[in-house]
Amino acid sequence: MTKKNNVMSTPTYKYVSTSSKFYFFLEEIEDAKWIAYDTEFISEGRFLPELCLLQVATEKGNFLIDPLTVSDITPFWERLCDGRSVSIIHACRSELEFCYRAVKKFPAQIFDVQIAAAFLGLGYPLNLKTLAQQTAKVQLAKSETLTDWRKRPLLISQLDYAIHDVCHLYQIYEHLRNRLSERGRLGWFEDEMAEYCRELQASLDDNEGWRKLHGVKGMSRTELAIVRELYEWRRERALRNGTPVGRILRDDVLVNVARSKTSDPQRIAVVRGVNMRPQAPIVLEAAQAISRAMQLSEAEKPQSHTPTYPTYEIATQLVYVLLAQYCKRHEISNTIVAHSADIRKALAHYEGKLKGEEGSKLFVGWRAEFLGSFLDSVLSGRYAMLLSEDLDGDPLRIIDVSGATFKSALENEGQ
């Protein structure tokens, strides 16, 4: 199906609904220098999200690929990873996850326009509609946000909506890339994308996701061993049945069961939140997992990774405010620079309370280049903070109190 332009300025696109059309599509994009893509998927009621539509734009044309009728779209993911094209994406996590699960790799060149916008102070995270208005000066409709993308046939209105998610990405990419180059921040962005991919890959390959469960801090090694065993059992059962892990045992219930330290189905069944009979298969399987954990030797049980440094609650809040003002003045979104946990770790780093190779990312890479001198001056007490007259727009004055003359620290750092 080819959709022609209409009064709504919907771009021409091809609807790829068969395997033969899919291979023609691959031939068409063989020499593409850039590939913008997006996905529509359903995650409700599933362990892994189900891909329902793949939107693609290149200089060769616009395409909508139907993965529910095309038998295998793996060659597309391989094409993204061969290094011949820039992959342009907005809010890339889901798109990268689909690629990684298919071919165990990420695209060779990734340009996430949402992350790029953060390095220009446009806000983070910005939705595509706002970003398109600010950069490409186009108005995107959001009329199909509640669509069931698995239902077939898809309506023309749904397809028109879907193609707009990618057809302007190249314009946005050009605008942002040029501005990043002008500001000397393209290298910073590329470093951040590389780090983003490393962290995402670690998350997808993570065998210790159980450590991120709320409530595991302060647990004994036996309790941690039970959490780990229950977590792996739950994941395998969810993968086997194609259901969300929460339908088996919610995270908080899993932690409560681990704290009970019992493999007796009768006692497991009465733990708050279980709500099942002792003979229920889930209860019996959980009991077996707990039994395996309790039979481990002390050396085989995991150790706690709870940070040993203070929470620095008030100091973290103060430094966060200072960094936010600093970032605003230098037109970079503070949420891409640091979160509270990063600042807390930086405070511990500054006090020498981090162990081993552990360190704060605020003191390495592009963040060190951007923040280094300013952050060191803040932590050393060289800078003081005052309220300005412009409480709404520019509420803080940060001044140098180390010398005889006060001067604006924000104007002297991070140019």
Q: What is the CATH number of the domain that holds 393?
A: 1.10.150.80
What is the C-alpha to C-alpha distance for residues 48 and 66, in angstroms, rounded to an integer?
18
Q: Does the pLDDT value for residue 229 go beyond 90?
A: yes
Q: What is the pLDDT at residue 405?
A: 38
Q: Does the pLDDT value for residue 6 go beyond 80?
A: no
Are residue 349 and residue 225 in the same domain, yes or no?
no
- Spell out the SS3 assignment of 195-230: HHHHHHHHHHCCCCHHHHCCCCCCCCHHHHHHHHHH
Q: What is the pLDDT at residue 8?
A: 46
Are residue 186 and residue 293 in the same domain, yes or no?
no
Across residues 66-78, what is the average pLDDT? 97
Q: What is the pLDDT at residue 1?
A: 52
Q: Does the pLDDT value for residue 3 go beyond 60?
A: no
Domain boundary among 273, 300, 327: 300
The reply to whether 388 falls in a domain is yes
What is the C-alpha to C-alpha distance for residues 254 and 246, in angstroms, rounded to an integer?
10
The reply to whether 63 falls in a domain is yes
Are residue 28 and residue 126 in the same domain, yes or no?
yes
Are residue 293 and residue 390 in the same domain, yes or no?
no
Are residue 277 and residue 217 in the same domain, yes or no?
yes
Mean pLDDT of the chain: 91
The CATH number of residue 103's host domain is 3.30.420.10
Q: What is the pLDDT at residue 4?
A: 44
Q: What is the phi-psi region of residue 9: left when phi exceeds 0, alpha when psi lies from -120 to 50, beta otherwise?
A: left
Span 263-289, pLDDT tens digits: 999 999 999 999 999 999 999 999 999
Q: What is the pLDDT at residue 393?
A: 80
Q: Does the pLDDT value for residue 385 go beyond 90?
A: no
Across residues 290-315, what is the average pLDDT? 91
Span 129-146, pLDDT tens digits: 999 999 999 988 766 667
Domain boundary among 244, 277, 300: 300
The reply to whether 305 falls in a domain is no
For 376, the domain range is 313-412
Are residue 176 and residue 227 in the same domain, yes or no?
no
Are residue 254 and residue 322 in the same domain, yes or no?
no
Q: What is the pLDDT at residue 143?
A: 62
Confidence of residue 166 (pLDDT cuts 50, 70, 90): very high
Best CA proximity match to 317, nearest among 286, 301, 338: 338
Query: In this predicted structure, which of 46-50, 162-166, 326-330, 399-403 has the lowest mean pLDDT?
Result: 399-403
The reply to whether 216 falls in a domain is yes
- Report yes or no: 245 and 238 within 8 Å, Cβ to Cβ: yes
Domain boundary among 186, 204, 222: 204
The reply to whether 140 falls in a domain is yes
Are residue 278 and residue 321 in the same domain, yes or no?
no
Are residue 143 and residue 8 in the same domain, yes or no?
yes
Are residue 322 and residue 362 in the same domain, yes or no?
yes
Are residue 187 and residue 290 in the same domain, yes or no?
no
Q: What is the pLDDT at residue 307?
A: 75
The reply to whether 307 falls in a domain is no
Confidence of residue 118 (pLDDT cuts 50, 70, 90): very high
Q: Does the pLDDT value for residue 356 go beyond 80?
A: no
Query: Residue 164: CB partners within 8 Å, gap ≥ 6?
Result: 10, 11, 140, 141
Burial track 287-324 (b if 16+ CB lie within 10 A, e otherwise): bebbebbeebeeeebbeeeebebeebeeebeebbebbb
Across residues 150-156, what is the average pLDDT? 94
Q: How many domains does the chain fold into?
A: 3
**Percentage above 70 pLDDT, the chain:** 93
Best CA proximity match to 233, nearest among 297, 302, 300, 288: 288
Q: Tokens 């059309």 — which residue?
A: 21
Across residues 84-95, what is the average pLDDT? 98
Tokens of 90: 């907005």
Q: What is the pLDDT at residue 403?
A: 57
The reply to whether 308 falls in a domain is no
Are residue 371 and residue 390 in the same domain, yes or no?
yes
Identify the residue with better confidence: 355 or 414.
355
Q: Does the pLDDT value for residue 357 go beyond 60?
A: no
Cα distance between the two ends of the chain? 52
Span 241-261, pLDDT tens digits: 999 999 999 999 999 999 999
Q: What is the pLDDT at residue 359?
A: 75
- Report yes or no: 409 and 400 within 8 Å, Cβ to Cβ: yes
Q: What is the pLDDT at residue 412?
A: 52
Taking residue 237's Cβ as centre, other Cβ atoms within 10 Å add up to: 20
